[in-house]
Amino acid sequence: MEWKQRHVLDLDTWKREELHYILEQTSSMDELLDRPIKKVPALRGKLVVNLFFEPSTRTRVSFELAEKFLSADVVNWSASGSSIGKGETLRDTAWTLEAMGADAVVIRHGAVGAADYLARKLKKSVVFNGGDGAHSHPTQALLDLYTAWKKIGSLERKKIVMIGDVLHSRVARSDIIGFSKMGSRVVLSGPPTLMPRSVDALGATYDPDPRSAVKGADIIYLLRIQRERQDEGMFPSLDEYHQIFGANESLLKLAGADTIVMHPGPVNRGVEIASNVADGSQSMILGQVRSGVALRMALLFVCLGGVRQ
């Protein structure tokens, strides 16, 4: 197919066939990760800058590994120690990096729309959104789709239950868009104080009782409690949250033995998920981490290295 997505900013404009295409490309890259020598020359001569204004482990490291496995030259940039501390704007930072020869920029920023702004200001560089505020995290959603697709096959008419802090989660919004486009039914659960005002507008339904919500679920997706983005008093205590909304063995039994468990990380054990569930046989959390490398390799290859016909 002809690839038309120049940047990876959000999934709003993606079509289902584009999602399927990326899943297939990711499967090819996934096979490379099992090879003794993982490096291929697909992006030799390309320069990718990882521009992170917020802390990150999985997204930053998986992008860096993906870039290096494809033989790109990599520059890791962080706000601390840069000219941002001297008053340089995001626009001028981006223009400077592009003038230095950057073919692509991966950006994580606390401001909603930062990646879109960068894409409009840069003339040649491809922009990958590594997370913008509480708005969007498209590559996380794509790796989640791939992880689920690889494990359970077609996502058509599958039920995914997302439990936790939906209000502050950029992952939740992108996953709802992605899974819905693949034909899945998304049900949200969690404290009413951590839900957006209009769940219907997101394309999901809301069930305040997680025990009711998970019945018949193919996927239980736990969302991290984002204490750094929320005010005090959103719920009484972390212990009470875990007792009501945390994923434990009794919750999994209500869902079924074939239900898979997912979490975008970092995991707050004993809050949104019990350790025996996070480490259990139904958990796909480490599978998501592996998928993150393969998925980002696929995106980099398609956007920078050419498309396999």
pLDDT at 265 over 90: yes
Q: Which residue has the higher pLDDT, 248 or 308?
A: 248
List the chain domain ranges. Answer: 16-136+289-305, 138-285
> What percent of the chain has pLDDT above 90?
81
CA distance 101 to 63: 19
Q: What percent of the chain has pLDDT over 70?
A: 92
pLDDT exceeds cutoff 50 at 39: yes
Cis check for the bond before 196: say yes or no (omega within 30 of 0).
no
Provide the pLDDT for residue 200: 87
* Nearest-angstrom CA–CA distance, 61 and 136: 19
HEC sequence for the chain: CCCCCCCECCCCCCCHHHHHHHHHHHHHHHHHCCCCCCCCCCCCCCEEEEEECCCCCHHHHHHHHHHHHCCCEEEEEECCCCHHHHCCCHHHHHHHHHHCCCCEEEEEECCCCHHHHHHHHCCCCEEEEEEECCCECHHHHHHHHHHHHHHHCCCCCCEEEEECCCCCCHHHHHHHHHHHHCCCEEEEECCHHHCCCCHHHHCCEECCCHHHHCCCCCEEEECCCCCCCCCCCCCCCHHHHHHHHCECHHHHHHHCCCCEEECCCCCCECCCECHHHHCCCCECHHHHHHHHHHHHHHHHHHHHHCCCC
- Is residue 87 predicted with pLDDT exceeding 80? no
91 has pLDDT over 60? yes
173 pLDDT exceeds 60?
Answer: yes
Reported as a pLDDT band with limits 50, 70 and 90, residue 234 is low
- Burial of 32 from C-beta contacts in 10 A (0-12 / 13-18 / 19+): middle
Same fold, 16-136+289-305 and 138-285: yes
The answer to pTM > 0.85 is yes
pLDDT confidence band for 307 (50 / 70 / 90): very low
Q: Which residues contact 284 (CB under 8 A, 6 or more apart)?
A: 147, 148, 151, 260, 261, 262
User: What is the CATH number that goes with domain 138-285?
Assistant: 3.40.50.1370
Averaged pLDDT for residues 124-134 = 96
Q: Is the pLDDT of residue 78 over 80?
A: no
Give the chain's mean pLDDT: 92
Confidence at residue 237, expressed as pLDDT on a 0 to 100 scale:
82
Report the CATH fold assignment for 16-136+289-305.
Rossmann fold (3.40.50)
Joined together, the tokens standing for residue 48 give 């990718």
Interatomic CA distance for residues 239 and 271, integer angstroms: 7
| Cα 218 to Cα 155: distance, rounded to the nearest angstrom | 9
> Looking at residue 227, what is its pLDDT?
60
Average pLDDT over residues 224-242: 71
> 67 with 298: CB under 8 angstroms?
no
